Amino acid sequence: MTPARILFVHNQPQSFVRIDLALLRERWLVEERFERRRQVNPAAVWASVQRADLVFCWFASWHSFLPAMYAKMQRKSCIIVVGGYDTANIPRIAYGSQRAGARRHISRLIIQVASHLIVNSESARLETITNTGAAESKITVIYHGIEPINPPGGSVRDRIALTVGGVWRENLYRKGLLPFVQAAKLLPEWQFIVAGKWEDGIDTLREAAGNNVTLTNFLIEPELAETYRRASVYVQASLHEGFGMSLAEAMSAGCVPVGTRIGAIPEVMGDTGIYTEPDPESIARAVVEAHTLDRNQPRERVLSQFPIERRRAALHALIERCL
């Protein structure tokens, strides 16, 4: 029997998107639509939906609007993964589609017409219900599956603190990049590394950075994996986090986590690291304390709680029900 056809729509080829794409291609015929620009071709999208038996979109935003609407019109199931900017509402850092305006209207309409919603944490489930009014009955929590990074031999590491995030203005506080760099001045004997593509926030970080801060720019996956292996402590000082993929990857590589009690961070960290407030002084204290902790526990937590096999099984089961 010919496998069903799935239209897979996204606007950013991040690691978690690529993982899901690969998992779906294990069982079904998948057409990928990577929408790089806001100006999409309605006729081409209609034809893509027409060829598909099911539509699968990452995030409820402009790129998934037409696929979701067309799936509804053609009476086909549409699954949307939500729980990032699309469901957030944090006015103090001007973050989230749910604050007001056209983005809120579009994201809520997409969520309303979707056949089913996937979220990557319990925190994201509650946020989606609270901020968008989504029906709880059509939301499924499926945690990310992590491709673990093998740590180096030995338990002793140099005093290196790492955080990962794109260096744009929104992320200076949303991902805690600025207070992380400011914390470095309080720990001159440590090396602090910010790994992420340079965009419009790089000048602000450079001004705040001392001599013990390295701003790497974008790292390809082998380079990032090696950076995880070198670091002793990974810091996720976020003000919003739908899961924390980089946090989990770092933990799998044997980094001891430092994170805020915000969003899904506690769901990922558990009791394997140190919790902090998102200010430089608190981050610095937490980094020093985390350096003394067992680094095997964070790795074991990721391996046991977020295996790729669990995400595969849950995704496949949900899609089978929706086809």
* pLDDT tens string 57-68: 999 999 999 999
Q: Are the C-beta atoms of residues 170 and 95 closer than 8 Å to each other?
A: yes
Least confident window among 79-88, 152-161, 208-217, 263-272: 152-161
What pLDDT score does 232 carry? 98
* CATH architecture assigned to 160-305: 3-Layer(aba) Sandwich (3.40)
Given pLDDT bands bounded at 50, 70 and 90, which one contains residue 155? confident
Pick the CATH number of 5-145+307-322 from 2.40.10.10, 3.40.50.300, 3.40.50.2000, 1.10.3720.10: 3.40.50.2000
Q: Ramachandran region of residue 244, left (φ > 0), alpha (ψ -120 to 50) or beta?
A: left
Nearest-angstrom CA–CA distance, 71 and 29: 17
Instruction: Please identify which residue in the block is written with the tokens 């897979």.
Output: 8
In the chain, % of residues over pLDDT 70 = 100
Residue 285, pLDDT above cutoff 90: yes
Query: What secondary structure letter does DSSP report for 217?
Result: B
- Is-same-fold flag (5-145+307-322; 160-305)? yes
Report the residue count for the chain: 323
Question: For residue 4, what are the CA distances in angstroms to 28, 119, 316?
Answer: 6, 23, 12
In sequence order, which residues have a C-beta less than 8 Å from that of residue 74 and are 6 or more positions away?
A: 49, 50
What pLDDT score does 323 carry? 95
Measured CA angle at 33 (ends 27, 38), to 5 deg = 155
Nearest-angstrom CA–CA distance, 116 and 316: 14
Nearest-angstrom CA–CA distance, 59 and 9: 9
Q: Are the C-beta atoms of residues 185 and 161 closer than 8 Å to each other?
A: no
Question: For residue 51, what are the CA distances in angstroms to 39, 45, 64, 245?
Answer: 21, 10, 16, 32
Sorted by where each begins, the domain ranges of the chain are 5-145+307-322, 160-305
Sign, CA dihedral 173-174-176-181, equals negative
Nearest-angstrom CA–CA distance, 82 and 61: 9
* pLDDT tens string 103-139: 999 999 999 999 999 999 999 999 999 999 999 999 9
Nearest-angstrom CA–CA distance, 44 and 197: 31
What pLDDT score does 39 carry? 85
What pLDDT score does 153 carry? 79
| Calculated CA dihedral for residues 314, 127, 173, 191, nearest 10 degrees | -30
Q: What amino acid is encoded at 114 in this protein?
A: A
Q: For residue 236, report the phi and psi dihedrals to the nearest 5 degrees.
A: -125, 80
54 forms beta bridges with 6, 77
